[in-house]
Amino acid sequence: MIEAKSNGYYNEAIGFFRAFFTNSMKSNRFLKFAVITGICRISKESLFSEFNNVKVRDVFSSALAEYYGLTEAEVSAALKSAKLENEYDNVQEWYNGYNIGGMKICNPLSISQFLENRKFGYYWVNTGGTSLITLQLKMANYKVLEELKVLWKGGSITTDVSTFITFNDLNRYNDLSLYSLLVAAGYLTLDSDSSKAVADEKLHGVLKAPNNEVKIAFKLMLQDFYKAMNYDNDFVEMLKAIFAGDAKEFEKHLSNFMLESVSYFDSTEAFYHGLTLGIMLFFRGDYEVKSNREAGEGRFDIALVPLAPINPGIVIECKKVDLVATVKTNDGSDGDAKTKKVKIQDPVKVAMDALKQVKDRKYVAEFKSKGVPFIVYGIAYLKKSCHIEILHI
């Protein structure tokens, strides 16, 4: 089902498996019971509509928790049998830490490999695909990218997790579905001492990678993702600067990004607008991202309208700096207006003109009426560099 979801034939797969499970299980007099395993639920309406009395046991349920892996007592006994009991504490750091219904569980594959090889290793890495997680990561906003960096480094975050995540929930992105999927897939675990129910099928608590092995696996997965999507620390820091209203940091990281990624010939205003809009899409989930919409007495380039009032709004006006421009002039001889070409060498003035346009044409008037403070950026693009000015409204 994961492959079907990732490769665009989910509905066809649902139809096949609905018929398969119904015919092979419900009407099969030779079958007493069956076990279906996976990391993500398939909604009852789509697949199990013909079934009765289906019982679900997930990582949040205490029922059958000891069968998800090896308990600490079982690991201790296995180490003692292999005369490796002195390694118990190290084994705990490397392979323990999964919270299954409030019980700590060790990875059975990793433990068995350690007992066989008698050395610590990353046995869990590359044992399964990450395509479903990658699809969610592609839609993640900047705040989640920042939180993933914290987890990457072995830290923890506090957030909500759904106890009933289905394939249908992954049709559109939200932070809840991503973190719930990472928990279900084993990359993260919810600290049992901190978690508490906040709503039906939702818990709130501390998320972290369960052990050293998974920290490495999590880091490798994110590294592969960032590499494939051309993300790096510079890019994430740029997103952080935009939100913080730090024009200098924004300018520095955007210029670095352009230097590495933009062709010298990509120098139209439409290209710069598209480039900026693509960056701003990483704020989805916290903002409604709008482009070229009528507002006030004109049309703004890009606006980020906060979905929560605690976040500031953001308006961006993009301008291209022409090296040579044609301007009207009067040579004083006959009084007729003429034109001449002049050099434009002041990106600062171009960026300030962008801010003046936003203010004069009242682009943020509608948003201000809602009591939302706005950060306005004027960006002057010049080939593979830029200059940014900022205004708070």
Measured CA to CA, the distance from residue 143 to residue 45 in angstroms comes to 33
CA 349 to chain centre: 36
User: Considering only CA atoms, which of 174, 13, 162 is closest in space to residue 5?
Assistant: 13
Average pLDDT over residues 114-127: 83
pLDDT exceeds cutoff 90 at 77: yes
* 3 state DSSP class of 314: strand
Residue 323: pLDDT over 90: no
Of the candidates 157, 144, 163, 176, the one whose C-alpha atom is nearest the C-alpha of residue 203 is 163
The arithmetic mean of pLDDT across residues 224-240, rounded, is: 75
Is the per-residue pLDDT at 46 higher than 70? no
- Nearest to 281, CA basis, from 140, 179, 153, 160: 140
Task: Give the up-direction half-sphere exposure of residue 94: CA atoms within 13 A in the CB hemisphere.
Answer: 20
The one-letter amino acid code at 369 reads S
> Residue 341 — very low, low, confident or very high, per pLDDT cuts 50/70/90?
low
Share of the chain above pLDDT 90, in %: 25
- Residue whose C-alpha is closest to residue 183's, from 131, 133, 124: 133
pLDDT of residue 34: 80
Mean pLDDT value of segment 248-255: 93
Whether 44 has a pLDDT exceeding 60, the answer reads no
CA distance to 12, 239, 303, per residue, from 8 (Å) = 9, 31, 32
**Among residues 110, 112, 109, 118, which one has the least CA distance to residue 86?**
118
Token match 């997103």: residue?
A: 239
Give the per-residue pLDDT at 343: 63
Question: Taking Cα atoms as reference points, which of 76, 308, 293, 99 lies closest to residue 184?
Answer: 99
Q: Give residue 381's pLDDT.
A: 93
What per-residue confidence (pLDDT) applies to 173? 64
Query: What is the percent of the chain with per-residue pLDDT over 70, rounded to a whole number?
Result: 85
How high is the pLDDT of residue 42?
A: 61
Max mean pLDDT among 128-132, 242-246, 369-373 falls in: 242-246
Q: Which of 26-40, 59-73, 106-120, 321-335 has the lowest mean pLDDT?
A: 321-335
At 388 the pLDDT is 96
241 has a pLDDT exceeding 80: yes
> In angstroms, rounded to a whole number, what is the distance separating the alpha carbons of residues 345 and 390?
20
User: DSSP character for 157?
Assistant: E
State the CB neighbour count (10 A cutoff) for residue 21.
16
Q: What is the pLDDT of residue 379?
A: 96
Q: 3-state DSSP call for residue 203?
A: strand
Task: Check if the beta carbon of residue 101 is closer than 8 Å to that of residue 62.
Answer: yes
Work out the average pLDDT over 5-14.
Answer: 78
pLDDT value at 89 more than 80:
yes
Please give the pLDDT value at position 383.
Answer: 85
Q: Which residues contact 122 (CB under 8 A, 6 or more apart)?
A: 213, 216, 217
Residue 59: what pLDDT?
83
> Helix %, strand %, coil % for the chain, to 5?
45, 20, 35
In the block, residue with structure tokens 């990678």:
209
Q: At what angle do helices 88-95 and 108-117 cross, to 10 degrees?
A: 140
What region, left, alpha or beta, does residue 78 occupy, with left being phi > 0 and alpha being psi -120 to 50 degrees?
Answer: alpha
Q: What pLDDT does residue 287 have?
A: 86
d(CA 256, CA 178) in angstroms, rounded, equals 30
**Pairing relation of β-strands 287-291 and 98-100?**
unpaired
- Average per-residue pLDDT in the chain? 82
Whole-number Å distance between alpha carbons of 294 and 301 = 9
* pTM confidence score: 0.64
Assign 338 a pLDDT band (cuts: 50, 70, 90): low
Which residues make beta-bridge pairs with 329?
338
